[in-house]
């Protein structure tokens, strides 16, 4: 019996080996539908990847080509590469309620949920739920761990919505003092989750005809038209100060970075050197990346800023940090929020129309026009440290003058905060 199984195993190995080696490339066409995604990624990486000289030989990757694109990239990318990824959401909608919650325990078994993020076009947005709302109850019952899990499943529910307030209570010394509380406001019907596409720039606003605000979370060339439209609105409003909210920005590509930087920079910087790119091999192949000229902004408008206020979080990385670094060489950039991640690897976007997949691939390391990238590995330490979730009253809709990070920026702009 043992001998029989040994023979079966040996035959299987011989057959599998023959599948790839004895028949060679003549058989690959048969397996193309199963291997196309990984083969395409492999071909792009061998031409453009920052570590292309360190990739395994094709013969070593034979069986790996049958992996899905995400698994294949995870297998072959360099250990130092934390930024390359396959954008599986590029052409696929999300199906979930569309919110993020911060859970607060009230008693041993009951909770309140503070809404910290709402996806535009999602079921939560349709229901009229906003960032800063409190979910006090679901279907007439207090929130428990089980009900919070049910809430995330995307079914239809009736939610009791509350708001933060303060009340006067008697303390243990029979003295009056203020205490945080959540008061009931109204009920909403959360519809069943439906498919929606996440927005890359949910908020564009002008405050008091003076301060412009953009929330931007994917600095990619695909979003150029949205940046152009926002810049025209802001330029036509005659803003004098600009707040760029990059707290969720960790993805993007070189082209998107170049375009956004050219919108924000002083007009005197247009057409001049913006960054230095170091490519593969021994990292001696340098290339300059310029600010675009005014004529290259298409439908966009250069805002000719002298100071830019940037809102950051611990999630801010990559293209957002490169934007800060490049603009610091030509203007005053004030960072407000939390320390960033310290990533200098720059991606380019490659699109495979056959499978409708987008590959964001690390192709170079980026420094400013003078070759400086002092934030590498350590990130940017904010000029004004602020934790956006440190106080519940500061969790407000993005762009609200009461929202923690934006309120701090406005106070700085208005001279209410000392340097």
Residues 384 and 274 grouped into a single domain: yes
Low-confidence residues of the chain, pLDDT below 50?
1-25
**In angstroms, rounded to a whole number, what is the distance separating the alpha carbons of residues 57 and 80?**
19
Residues 291 and 174 grouped into a single domain: no
Residues 284 and 313 grouped into a single domain: yes
Residues 210 and 163 grouped into a single domain: no
Contact, 137 vs 159, CB < 8 A? yes
> What is the predicted pLDDT for the residue at 238?
92
Number of CB atoms found within 10 A of residue 311's CB? 30
**In angstroms, rounded to a whole number, what is the distance separating the alpha carbons of residues 96 and 229?**
29
> What is the predicted pLDDT for the residue at 5?
36
pLDDT digits (tens, 9 = 90+) for 72-117: 999 999 999 989 999 876 667 788 999 999 999 999 999 999 999 9
**In angstroms, rounded to a whole number, what is the distance separating the alpha carbons of residues 215 and 211?**
13
> What is the predicted pLDDT for the residue at 17?
45
How many residues are given for the chain? 419
Q: Is residue 327 in a domain? A: yes
Helix 69-76 to helix 32-48 angle (10° resolution) is: 40
Residues 152 and 281 grouped into a single domain: no
Q: How many folded domains does the chain comprise? A: 2
> In degrees, to the nearest 5, what angle opens at C-alpha 104 toward C-alphas 102 and 110?
125
Residues 185 and 259 grouped into a single domain: no
Q: Token pair of 155, please? A: 């079914």
Q: How far is CA 316 from CA 358, 362, 390, 419, in A?
A: 21, 17, 18, 23
Contact, 76 vs 60, CB < 8 A? no
Q: Is residue 297 in a domain? A: yes
> What is the predicted pLDDT for the residue at 22?
43
pLDDT digits (tens, 9 = 90+) for 249-272: 999 999 999 999 999 999 999 999
H-run or E-run covering 87:
strand 85-87
Last residue of a domain, one of 196, 226, 244: 196
Q: What is the CATH number of the domain that holds 372?
A: 3.90.226.10
Contact, 328 vs 351, CB < 8 A? no
Q: Is residue 6 in a domain? A: no
Q: Return all residues near 186 (Cβ < 8 A) that are at least 6 apart.
A: 161
**In angstroms, rounded to a whole number, what is the distance separating the alpha carbons of residues 300 and 294?**
9
Residues 180 and 212 grouped into a single domain: no
Q: Token pair of 372, please? A: 């400086």
Range of the domain at 135: 96-196
Q: Which of 317, 369, 380 is nearest to 343 (CA)?
A: 317
What does the buried/exposed string (b/e) look like for 202-230 if buried means 16 or more CB atoms within 10 Å of the residue's CB? bbbbbbeeebbbbbbbbbbbbbbebbbeb
H-run or E-run covering 225:
helix 224-236
Last residue of a domain, one of 181, 196, 211: 196
Q: Is residue 320 in a domain? A: yes
Q: Which of 222, 213, 273, 217 is nearest to 250 (CA)?
A: 217
Proportion of the chain in helix, strand, coil states, percent, rounded to 5: 30, 30, 40
Residues 276 and 396 grouped into a single domain: yes
Q: Which of 224, 294, 289 is nearest to 265 (CA)?
A: 294
Last residue of a domain, one of 162, 196, 230: 196
Q: Is residue 324 in a domain? A: yes
Q: Is residue 376 in a domain? A: yes
């Amino acid at each position: 019996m043992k001998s029989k199984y040994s023979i079966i195993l040996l035959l299987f190995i011989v057959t599998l080996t023959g599948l790839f080696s004895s028949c060679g490339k003549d058989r690959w066409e048969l397996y193309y539908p199963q291997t196309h995604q990984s083969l395409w990624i492999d071909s792009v990486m061998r031409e453009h990847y920052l570590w292309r000289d360190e990739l395994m030989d094709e013969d070593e990757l034979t069986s790996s080509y049958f992996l899905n694109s995400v698994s294949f990239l995870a297998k072959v990318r360099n250990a130092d590469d934390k930024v390359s990824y396959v954008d599986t959401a590029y052409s696929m909608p999300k199906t979930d309620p569309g919110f993020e919650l911060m859970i607060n325990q009230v008693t041993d078994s009951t909770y309140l949920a503070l809404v910290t993020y709402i996806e535009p076009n999602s079921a939560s947005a349709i229901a009229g739920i906003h960032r800063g709302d409190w979910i006090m109850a679901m279907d007439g019952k207090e929130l428990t761990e089980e009900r919070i899990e049910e809430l995330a499943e995307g079914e239809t529910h009736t939610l009791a919505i509350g708001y933060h307030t303060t009340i006067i209570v008697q303390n243990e010394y029979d003295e009056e003092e203020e205490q945080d509380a959540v008061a009931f406001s109204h009920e909403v019907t959360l519809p069943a989750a439906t498919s929606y596409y996440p927005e890359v720039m949910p908020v564009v606003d002008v405050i008091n005809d003076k301060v412009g605000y953009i929330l931007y979370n994917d600095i990619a060339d695909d979003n150029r038209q949205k940046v152009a439209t926002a810049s025209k609105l802001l330029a036509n409003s005659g803003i004098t100060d600009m707040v760029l909210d990059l707290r969720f920005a960790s993805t993007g590509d070189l082209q998107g970075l170049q375009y956004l930087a050219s919108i924000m920079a002083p007009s005197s910087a247009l057409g001049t050197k913006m960054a230095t790119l170091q490519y593969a091999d021994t990292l001696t192949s340098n290339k300059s990346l310029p600010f675009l000229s005014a004529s290259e902004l298409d439908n966009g408008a250069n805002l000719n800023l002298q100071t830019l206020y940037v809102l950051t979080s611990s999630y801010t990385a990559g293209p957002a940090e490169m934007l800060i670094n490049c603009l610091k060489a030509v203007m005053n950039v004030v960072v407000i929020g939390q320390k960033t991640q310290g990533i200098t690897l720059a991606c380019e976007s490659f699109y495979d129309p056959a499978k409708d997949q987008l590959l964001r691939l690390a192709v170079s390391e980026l420094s400013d026009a003078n070759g400086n990238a002092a934030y590498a590995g350590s990130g940017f330490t904010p000029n004004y440290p602020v934790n956006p979730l440190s106080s519940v009253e500061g969790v407000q809709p993005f762009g609200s003058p009461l929202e923690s990070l934006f309120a701090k920026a406005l106070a700085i702009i208005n001279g209410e905060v000392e340097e």
